[in-house]
Amino acid sequence: MTSEMISVQDLAVRFTANQTKKWPWSKPGVVKAVNGVSFAVNRGQTLGIVGESGCGKSTLVRAIAGLVKPSHGTVRVGGKVVDYSRRKEVIALRRQVQMIFQDPVASLNPRMTIRDIIAEPLVMFFPEMNGEARETRVHALLDRVGIPRRNANRYPHEFSGGQCQRIGIARALAAEPKVLLCDEPVSALDVSIQAQVVNLLQELQADMGLTLIFVAHDLGVVRHISDEILVMYLGGMMEQAPADALVARPTHPYTRALLSAVPVPDPSQRITPQVLDGDLPSPLNLPQGCLFQSRCPARLPECATTRPDLKRDGRHYRACLLEAS
Amino acid sequence: MRAKKIMSSPEFAQAAAEEMINSRSFWADARIRFFKNKMAVISVTLLFGLVLFASFGQFFAQWSYEEIDWSVLGRVKEAGGPSLENGHYFGVDELGRDLYARVVQGSRVSLLVGFLAAIIAVCIGATMGAIAGYYGGRTDQIIVGALNITLSIPYIIFFVVWQAFFGRSLMQMILVMVIINWTAGLLIVRGQVQTLKNKEFVDAARMLGMSDAKIIFKHILPNMLWVIVIYMSISIPEMIMYESLVSFLGVGIQEPNTSWGALISEGAKTMTFGTLWQLLYPAAFFVIAQVSLYYIGDGLRDALDPKERS
Amino acid sequence: MTLLSVQDLSIRFRTPDGYVHAVNNVSFDIEEGEKLAVVGESGSGKSQIALAILGLLANNAEASGRILYKGQNLLDLPRREMNKIRAKEISIIFQDPMSSLNPYMTVERQLNEILELHEGLRGRAARSRVLEVMEAVQIPDAKNRLKSYPHEFSGGMRQRIVIAMALLCRPKLILADEPTTALDVTVQAQIMHLLEDIQKEYGSSIMLITHDLGVVAGFCNETLVLYGGRVMERAGTAAIFAAPAHPYTRGLMRAVPNIHDPSATLQSIPGQPPNQTRPLVHCPFAGRCGDSLEACFDILPELSPAPHQRACIRAVEELT
């Protein structure tokens, strides 16, 4: 049952940066936040997206959700192309694709009770539902994410970060989505709580057949939850592969550097991080050739002029001019 | 283990499930904090008294505010002082009119102008601020431009010119004050909206397919209502001050109608003739109103501002 | 030789809703040249201990106990004496480099200011010392970049400058409060390597405050685990990682995904962080502990003697 649930083809997101304008009438600079990302995720699978801050991974999922406008490319959900310019289609998309956010406390309206927060998607997406049915559903969702029902009348600030994230998950689930976009859902949480939320997401995925797109900067967590991992740098795709293959046999110089720097909770293992010299180019002014060229330890002369295409080798994709070895 | 045993027992689970924890909402919490503030409570009482005085004070007056008591005219200093016998509780003014009735009328006008102008101005300012903050871009530029132009108008000159053109009625007065002060709270609300619209809970609401209007009213407004309330509470005494200032300068409310500013102005002119009550009564009411309004504003800020809570 | 000795330190904060007990009777020593990791989650009181050592606690804090440094109790020291100790003897590196740098001053002026204040160095002597530390933290082209303002540096470079600032007066002890949490992985690894080199070169002791067990494992030789403002366990890093002897430490290690060992399931610690509004009367971890006994809810366990200190009433062999 490996049917494609969500796919993205050559997606790009551009922002205009007004603060770069010299005069009120001059042309604003363009920030190229996401540059031609393509991937497909099968039903019930998890795609992890990793990269360092500013690599456009959050913008990418926000574009899929329609929170920012993609400037180029197509998104298919369940085989159907989403037209983001039509409100109706975007609303239909959001019944299938929901999102959980990075800051668990800030993602809940501080003036609403937990019940109202979780009931809101029910009101929006299932207007025919009566009050009683809605209450039952809210209780079921609270049970599902492990928040005691008697807390339904309380406000978000009375909960810890981990509990707020559970409430955020319950809200996302209320819409009965097929795809859950997770934008750094555990990076604001403590280690012990982080594991609770990761496990909850995995349980929910197994029970409901959810497809997850899981964005994080912590490779350990992404490795743990994902079937496939996509590595981004400066808005571009560097490498994508099944999680095991990517960690065991990274073929892109950037992925290698990233993996070499991940700290290991074992004092007997010494890591030797690969030092990346050079500066991160500004997304206002991207290099012509490979996005990673300025810091790449294995740079070739042609890297400065040629932007490498994504090359496929089985389920392993990489964008690099070097021969995979 | 003992505690764990108790907690995992079915009876406990049952009891826990039935016992809902009800928390106080933000506003209920704020109300409690406000009423803990003694000065604010006293001020609310005083202001309430003033409103009652302005609304029903005329029923206790023996004279109307326009009527001239010919019997004291010409000897105001000797016979026009405060007295219960002739019904001039606060004495008479320089023209022999009952000062009590005039203070009642003046309080009415001042409070009415202050409250109405402040509420209307802040509502307009807040709405414009919310629009500018939420949509940004060109809309924001136009609104902020209009704000800058308004702020550069010298308001007293504008007031005089406006009144010369359209006459000096109460409605004109409120209208012109709203025109001058429509920017009240605009920038502060704009800033609030700009921060709030980037909060993740607003993104979450957008993920539910909510319309902009619904997002503004359901998710943004409740989170910044406190700013508007505080701003309104400090705008009211400001407006009363404006009104008094222009009336004091003689370009505000028209005779025989009056306001605190006009009364203080008249009282101040005759101060040296030994009729000090003509200044003291209106001034006392004015000061009580201003001080209690400021304390209420202060109390509201302490009760509502999240930075004050720790 | 013991450099700093924290004895029976408690810190509580006055709030409108009563006291918050952040640190409860914590005692530990730092030896000269030691790299001690203080590991804990939010609310464990780890940052408050560092602030207490430097006398930087918030105004509503009340600290009791003793922090002995060179025979003086830092908690009793008058402010003027404390100012002499800060930077010169003990310095701190904060999580957010921007918060310790003045955005309106060039890096050089900020560094010079510290030198002048604490060592009376100016002019050429100051300049050579500044260049020396800038080189120590491996800022390329240090000579020219000294004239730059903090915002002209990248996040990793800024943290290097903050480290340079901390090193300037060659302090005996450096407190590093989550120095790499705000940084990307590749930069984080570089900064940790840098700290390690510097420690070797200058021989300072380092107290690294972190929540990241991976960073601890790669860097520190001693580890102290805090929970609910209480010491749970303290031992050599190798010993703690090889055989964690406290249920909380064990739970923490099982909750961290290891990128090279994907088969292991993540075991979370159930429950929520402790409520600190009441004074501790029993083990703070008892409510979340899988091994707790009835007695755990009655007794506040004391730390067992060195070398492998632990605060748990159950024997190591009995733990799951």
Tell me which residues of chain A have a C-beta less than 8 Å from any C-beta of chain C. Answer: 52-53, 160-163, 190-196, 198-199, 217, 219-221, 223-224, 243-244, 247, 257-271, 273-276, 279-280
Q: Which of A221, A267, A269 lies closest to C257 in CB terms? A: A221
The string of DSSP codes covering A11-24 is EEEEEEEGGG-SST
From the list C204, C163, C197, the residue with the least C-alpha distance to C34 is C204
| CATH code, domain carrying A19 | 3.40.50.300
- Report the pLDDT value the prediction gives residue A325, as an integer from 0 to 100: 60
Instruction: Tell me which chain C residues have a C-beta less than 8 angstroms from the C-beta of A262.
Output: 185, 214, 259
From the list A132, A216, A122, A127, the residue with the least C-alpha distance to A172 is A122
Q: How many CB pairs under 8 A join A and B?
A: 79
ipTM: 0.86
Q: Which of B207, B210, B219 lies closest to A65 in CB terms? A: B207
In a domain, A269, yes or no: no
Instruction: Tell me which chain B residues have a C-beta less than 8 angstroms from the C-beta of A98.
Output: 207
Distance (Å) from the C-alpha of residue A67 to the closest C-alpha of chain C? 25
Asked if the model's pLDDT at residue B305 lies above 80, the reply is no
- Report the pLDDT value the prediction gives residue B119, as an integer from 0 to 100: 93
Contact B91, B75 (CB under 8 A): no
CA A51 to chain centre: 10
Chains in contact with C, where contact requires at least 3 CB pairs less than 8 Å apart? A, B
User: Which tokens is B188 given?
Assistant: 């502060």
**Residue C68 backbone phi and psi in degrees, to 5:** -95, 125
In a domain, C127, yes or no: no
In a domain, A304, yes or no: no
For residue A243, what are the domain limits? 4-251
Contact C223, C237 (CB under 8 A): yes
Contact C217, C237 (CB under 8 A): yes
CA quadruple C69, C73, C74, C77: dihedral, nearest 10 = -130
In a domain, C84, yes or no: yes
Kindly give, in sequence order, each residue whose CB lies less than 8 Å from that of residue A153, ignoring residues fewer than 6 positions away: A113, A114, A115, B20, B21, B22, B23
In a domain, A171, yes or no: yes
In a domain, C150, yes or no: no
| CATH code, domain carrying C34 | 3.40.50.300
Tell me whether residues C16 and B3 touch, CB distance under 8 A: no
CA–CA gap between residue C135 and residue A299 (Å, rounded): 27
In a domain, A271, yes or no: no
For residue C180, what are the domain limits? 2-89+171-318
Contacts with C, B 2-21, CB within 8 Å: 2-4
CA distances from C119 to C77, C89, C169 (A): 20, 12, 8
DSSP-assigned letter for residue C304: P
Give domain B24-308's CATH architecture.
Orthogonal Bundle (1.10)
Q: Which of A162, A196, A247 lies closest to C259 in CB terms? A: A247
- Report the pLDDT value the prediction gives residue B144, as an integer from 0 to 100: 92
Task: Give the DSSP H or E segment for B12.
Answer: helix B10-18
Asked if the model's pLDDT at residue B15 lies above 70, the reply is no
User: Within a 10 A sphere around the Cβ of A54, how many other Cβ atoms?
Assistant: 17
DSSP-assigned letter for residue C300: -
Q: What is the pTM of this model?
A: 0.85
Tell me whether residues C287 and B1 touch, CB distance under 8 A: no
How many domains are contained in chain C? 1
Average pLDDT over residues C274-297: 88
Asked if the model's pLDDT at residue B1 lies above 50, the reply is no
In a domain, C297, yes or no: yes
Tell me whether residues B23 and A171 touch, CB distance under 8 A: no
pLDDT digits (tens, 9 = 90+) for C261-270: 767 778 888 8
Among the ranges given (B36-40, B184-188, C63-67, C152-156), the one the predictor scored with the smallest mean pLDDT: C152-156
Question: In a 3-state reduction of DSSP, which class is residue B202?
Answer: helix
Token pair 């755990």 is found at C296
How many domains are contained in chain A? 1
- Report the pLDDT value the prediction gives residue B14, as an integer from 0 to 100: 52
Strands A4-17 and A72-77, bridge-based pairing = antiparallel
Average pLDDT over residues C49-69: 91
**Cis peptide preceding B256, ω within 30 of 0:** yes
CA–CA gap between residue C26 and residue C39 (Å, rounded): 14
In a domain, C212, yes or no: yes
**Does residue B209 belong to the interface with chain A, where contact is any CB pair within 8 Å?**
yes
Q: Where are the domains of chain B?
A: 24-308
Tell me whether residues A271 and C193 touch, CB distance under 8 A: no
CA–CA gap between residue C10 and residue C294 (Å, rounded): 26
Question: In a 3-state reduction of DSSP, which class is residue C310?
Answer: strand
Sheet containing C90-93, strands listed edge to edge, beginning at the edge strand earlier in sequence: C90-93, C173-177, C205-210, C35-39, C222-227, C230-236, C309-310
Question: In a 3-state reduction of DSSP, which class is residue B164?
Answer: helix
pLDDT digits (tens, 9 = 90+) for B87-136: 777 877 777 788 888 889 989 888 998 999 999 999 999 999 999 999 88
CA distances from B128 to B198, B223, B296, C188 (A): 19, 17, 26, 46
Contact C248, C284 (CB under 8 A): no
Q: Which residues pair with C209 in a beta bridge?
A: C38, C177
CA distances from A250 to A79, A238, A247, A259, C161 (A): 30, 11, 6, 8, 33
Tell me whether residues A109 and B19 touch, CB distance under 8 A: no
Minimum Cα–Cα distance from B18: chain A residue: A150
Tell me whether residues B208 and A152 touch, CB distance under 8 A: no
CA–CA gap between residue C86 and residue C92 (Å, rounded): 8
User: Which tokens is A306 given?
Assistant: 């040629």
Contact C204, C170 (CB under 8 A): yes
Tell me whether residues C297 and B309 touch, CB distance under 8 A: no
- Report the pLDDT value the prediction gives residue B19, as an integer from 0 to 100: 64
pLDDT digits (tens, 9 = 90+) for C198-232: 888 888 899 999 988 888 888 898 999 999 999 99
Q: When comparing pLDDT for B256 and B11, which is higher?
A: B256
Mean pLDDT split into 10-residue runs, chain A, 325 residues: 84 82 77 90 94 88 92 90 89 92 92 93 91 92 91 89 93 94 90 90 93 92 92 92 91 90 82 76 83 87 87 88 75
Instruction: Tell me which chain B residues have a C-beta less than 8 angstroms from the C-beta of C15.
Output: 310
pLDDT range class, residue B310, cuts 50, 70, 90: very low
Task: Give the DSSP H or E segment for A229.
Answer: strand A228-233
Helices vs. strands in chain A: H and E counts, helices first = 9, 12
**Does residue A187 belong to the interface with chain B, where contact is any CB pair within 8 Å?**
no
In a domain, A142, yes or no: yes
- Report the pLDDT value the prediction gives residue A324, as an integer from 0 to 100: 66
CA–CA gap between residue B223 and residue B215 (Å, rounded): 11
- Of C186, C196, C246, which to mutate for an interface test with A (greatest number of A Cβ within 10 Å)? C186
